[in-house]
Amino acid sequence: MELEMAVRRVREEFREMPGLLLTPAQATRLWGLEHEMCRAVIESLVAAAFLRWTASGSVTRAGS
């Protein structure tokens, strides 16, 4: 799966499920991505200010 497609898919998942909070390991399992691809997706969405890291090491939608 290409990075751009994965980013779009993950963005939609977070839009559809307000309050979604995932660790990188949970995200990897939920979306069926390889660890490196999942990390790249998360980092891309964090850089775009769509997601943010929590103090516990999870990601959630920025502004939530």
pLDDT at 63: 86
Q: Which domain holds residue 41?
A: 3-61
- Whole-structure pTM value: 0.90
**pLDDT tens digits for 12-45?**
999 999 899 999 999 999 999 999 999 999 999 9
For the chain, how many structural domains are there in total? Answer: 1
Contact 1, 33 (CB under 8 A): yes
36 vs 56: CA distance, rounded Å = 20
Indicate which CATH number applies to the domain containing 32.
1.10.10.10
Q: Average pLDDT for residues 34-61, to the nearest whole number?
A: 97
Segment (H or E) for 26:
helix 24-31
Three-class DSSP category at 54: coil
Burial of residue 35 (number of CB atoms within 10 Å: 0-12, 13-18, 19+): exposed
